[in-house]
Structure 1
Amino acid sequence: MSRHLDIDVAIIGGGLVGSSAALALRGMGFSVALLDKGFCGAQASGVNYGGVRRQGRPREQLPLSQRAHAIWPRLKERIGIDGEFLRSGHLKLARSEAEMAALEAYAEAVADQGLDLELVGHNGLRERFPWIDGSILGASLCAGDGHANPRLVSAAFASAARRAGAHVLENTPVTGLTRNGEGFALEAGEGIGLSARVVINSAGAWADRFATDFGEPVPLSRIYPSMIVTEPLAPVMTVNIGMEGGGIYARQVERGNVVVGGERGLPLDDPDFSRPRGAGALAIMNRTAEIFPALRHAQAIRFWSGTEAAMPDRNPVIGFSGTTPGLLHAFGFTGAGFQIAPGVGEVLAELVRDGRTPTPIDAFSITRFSRPPVPPENDDRTSHGSGAGPHPEPQSRGAST
């Protein structure tokens, strides 16, 4: 090995989850290495739509989403930039009576979760949002939600972690990971070896490989969201837009460009990569022109796609391994990880330090997909569970921030 690092925590995957965990762990005094096979924030974390929304999430995600919600307004003090975060509100549109009924049912089901949803009828929609086509029946507004620039935010968390003292190793794929005594031995890049007492698997669409290596196969699949951005336009859209039942989402940034999504890209021969589909891009553009008449003559100037991990129940995997002490997982956000990722990073840091977190995460346990094997009495891979329990070494070396 040409280089060796002995650290407390190794994080595989430099997306927003891994980077925010690295930053939080450094604030607690842990030594950290953040490893990415490419550039930090270059995959799903940096190419997504940029919605910062709580509305529409499953109820079990809302405590975590609320935790992250408190972080977004404080981005500048945390990572040095505001990431173009704008608390614009998130307006979810209903095209039919059935969709409006679904919005009403959701609002009732999460009324105790602090989202402060406001149901808006057809007449109110026309009065307050005249730039939306009159065929839209109604909507649900979450005024505290918003949007941000993922290309800025994801890279900035990694940069902040580096400034805080984390070893940030880009273009450094993990080629070997084994349990070694009280910790783990990792091989990465060209001749880099690491010894870590804790490993966090936040490798996104590539995380299933590491889970499988420790006896925890998961039904992870890949999705390829596709986005379009228009030329700068005069201010039109005052809120971040979503649709009940899917089909389109759109937001306008301060410089005037409108970002629109709602279709899937096409994976290439190497499924790590994808490209937008011509038919899909055209479908998004036509749908946008139908719902937002002011955009009918807007020029699309850029198209892109990315690779994301999806789970069949649309909930992520977050928490301790069911087979291996000191191993934590955080992946599979199914296109909805951008908003909650800073909260996930804090939760992971608490799990490392304390072995538990006050934020409910039991619904995200990796053990929900299979019953873990019962290890022999002399096997050191005793389960720590997915939420609370005895914390793995090391202990915190400094004050928590």
Structure 2
Amino acid sequence: MPGPYVVPVHGDAELPTEVDVVVIGGGIIGSSTALELVESGLRVALCEKGGIGHEQSSRNWGWVRISRRDPREVPLMAEALRIWKDLDTRTGRDTGYRRAGIVFTCVDDESYAQHEAWNRNLDGYQLESRMISAREFHDKYPGNKMDLKGALYTAADGRAEPQRAAPAVAEAARDRGAHILTECAVRGIETSGGRVSGVVTERGAIRCSAVVLAGGAWSGLFAGNMGIDFPQLKVLNSVIRTKPLEGGPEEAIWHKDFAIRKRKDGGYTIASGHENVVNIVPSTFRYGRQFLPALRHEWRSLNLRLGMRFLDEARIPRRWSLSEPSPFEYNRVLDPVPHKGIQDRAFVAAKRAFPVLEKAEIEQRWGGYIDVTPDAVPVISAIDKVPGFFLASGFSGHGFGIGPAAGRLMANLVTGRTPIVDPTAFRFNRFSDGSRIELISGF
């Protein structure tokens, strides 16, 4: 099942012998981190085992939203909205970003009250976000067939093109002197005196004093080979892309049964608003206890599935030496088969709500693995066990929009500069220091 077409980024032919920082992972988080670091004056190498942005960074919905985020992410996302606004100019490339607004529908009084209460998280941010009535919703979208109490409308939110964004940011980093290395898996990290001293890639070694792991769904496996336990699981999200269509909504719209986002090409990205698949794999049992609160909270939305994926992951080595090929060299791109039933239900629901979509034709289907943490909040943190090693992963489906600001925060931590926001909520040791791991709803 081929994934979406991603703007190609050709990797450098030569491997540098030494840089200040190696960033592992060429998605939106890794690329943004590399850009921030090189703009800080550091020598940077970005190493990607496959192609830039070929996994979840190009397979997400393309929403750039602050609305209905976990409150712990709101300050960082407010920074991200500021960065996105000027990102095309900064990179000299088209990311497809547009401040087009996002609407979260409310089907009853309870849902309306929840969204209204959530919106107080934006007090003081001077961002345009408000509740709208059912009448205003119907005036805004004439011809829709939705039975609603109202909606949360955040005009400050926007959209961008996932297949363009990470490549644009990575190329901008290269413009400023970063090394961009594709099909160049990092096998592991070397240390000297207990500190990071370099990495070993499949193409050779690179000396460095700091490493940022932004490997998405692969981060837990990489960290585990270093003896670092990162609780991380994967959730399969399934997406439809339609051919261009006139007359549909401009804003992205969420409903429990569907989520739609207009694309720059005039088509729509459509997915279920709540349904995902969780494959039962060995890590499910390894981290089941830590994820139990999340499973209890989200069980209605999760399709648990036991199949060949269990055996596939059971065969992946959890330990390897740096002198032998790593698991990352045997699987360049995670390209899971989407759940057609979930996609079809979402498409039918979207057409029922917006009859104009009856004319929509499906151009492509794809799946993508979202990497999640027990509290659905990312780790953007130094790893105390290995000085010079940093982790930026576990974005739990929220990484695309927040990516540019996450990269800036990560660069702040690496350089020792004042963080753009308080990083406490994103610290890695919250999973081991006795802190209460709490899943907070997006309301």
Q: Structure 1-normalised TM-score? A: 0.87
Q: Note the C-alpha offset of 1:155.
A: 1.1
Deviations 1:26-54 (A, max 9, x none): 11110111111101111111111100111
Aligned residues: percent identity?
A: 30
Residues 263-278 of structure 1: matches in 2 within 5 Å?
263-264=275-276, 269=309, 270=312, 272-278=334-340
Q: Note the C-alpha offset of 1:185.
A: 2.6
Per the alignment, do residues 135 and 24 of structure 1 end up closer, same or farther by CA in structure 2, a change over 3 Å counting?
same
Pair 1:251 & 2:313 matched: no
Q: Distance in 1 between matches of 2:264 and 2:226?
A: 46
Pair 1:348 & 2:360 matched: no
Match of residue 228 from structure 1: 240
Residues 186-335 of structure 1: matches in 2 within 5 Å?
186-190=199-203, 192-243=204-255, 246-262=256-272, 263-264=275-276, 269=309, 270=312, 272-335=334-397
One-letter identity of the residue aligned with 1:256: G
Contact preservation (8 Å) 2:244, 2:266:
yes
Pair 1:80 & 2:142 matched: no
Per the alignment, do residues 265 and 80 of structure 1 end up closer, same or farther by CA in structure 2, a change over 3 Å counting?
farther
Residues 1-400 of structure 1: matches in 2 within 5 Å?
5-181=17-193, 182-190=195-203, 192-243=204-255, 246-262=256-272, 263-264=275-276, 269=309, 270=312, 272-354=334-416, 356-371=418-433
Per the alignment, do residues 131 and 214 of structure 1 end up closer, same or farther by CA in structure 2, a change over 3 Å counting?
farther
One-letter identity of the residue aligned with 1:189: E
Deviations 1:355-401 (A, max 9, x none): 541311211111111139xxxxxxxxxxxxxxxxxxxxxxxxxxxxx
Per the alignment, do residues 111 and 133 of structure 1 end up closer, same or farther by CA in structure 2, a change over 3 Å counting?
farther
SS at match of 1:275: coil
Q: Distance in 2 between matches of 1:266 and 1:286?
A: 23
Q: Distance in 2 between matches of 1:106 and 1:30?
A: 40
Q: Tell me, which stretches of 5 or more residues in structure 2 are unaligned?
A: 1-13, 280-307, 314-333, 435-443
Deviations 1:262-288 (A, max 9, x none): 243687745643111221221111111
Q: Note the C-alpha offset of 1:254.
A: 4.1
Aligned residues: 368
Q: Tell me, which stretches of 5 or more residues in structure 1 are unaligned?
A: 373-401
Per the alignment, do residues 356 and 319 of structure 1 end up closer, same or farther by CA in structure 2, a change over 3 Å counting?
farther
One-letter identity of the residue aligned with 2:360: A
Q: Distance in 2 between matches of 1:178 and 1:158?
A: 25
Contact preservation (8 Å) 2:235, 2:278:
no
Contact preservation (8 Å) 2:196, 2:386:
no
One-letter identity of the residue aligned with 1:72: W
Q: Indicate the larger mover: 255-264 or 316-325.
A: 255-264
Per the alignment, do residues 212 and 131 of structure 1 end up closer, same or farther by CA in structure 2, a change over 3 Å counting?
farther
SS at match of 1:340: helix
Deviations 1:46-105 (A, max 9, x none): 111100111010111111101111111212222112311111111111112221111111
Q: Distance in 2 between matches of 1:137 and 1:200?
A: 45
Q: Distance in 2 between matches of 1:301 and 1:63?
A: 37
Q: Distance in 2 between matches of 1:109 and 1:331?
A: 24
RMSD: 2.0
One-letter identity of the residue aligned with 2:420: P
One-letter identity of the residue aligned with 2:191: R
Contact preservation (8 Å) 1:51, 1:338:
yes
Normalized per residue, which structure has more helix? Answer: 2
Q: Distance in 2 between matches of 1:15 and 1:71?
A: 17
Q: Indicate the larger mover: 300-309 or 128-137.
A: 128-137
Per the alignment, do residues 314 and 132 of structure 1 end up closer, same or farther by CA in structure 2, a change over 3 Å counting?
farther
Q: Structure 2-normalised TM-score? A: 0.79
Contact preservation (8 Å) 1:240, 1:252:
yes
Q: Distance in 2 between matches of 1:312 and 1:247?
A: 24
One-letter identity of the residue aligned with 2:196: G
Deviations 1:309-336 (A, max 9, x none): 1112110011111322111110011111
Q: Note the C-alpha offset of 1:168.
A: 1.0
One-letter identity of the residue aligned with 2:127: L
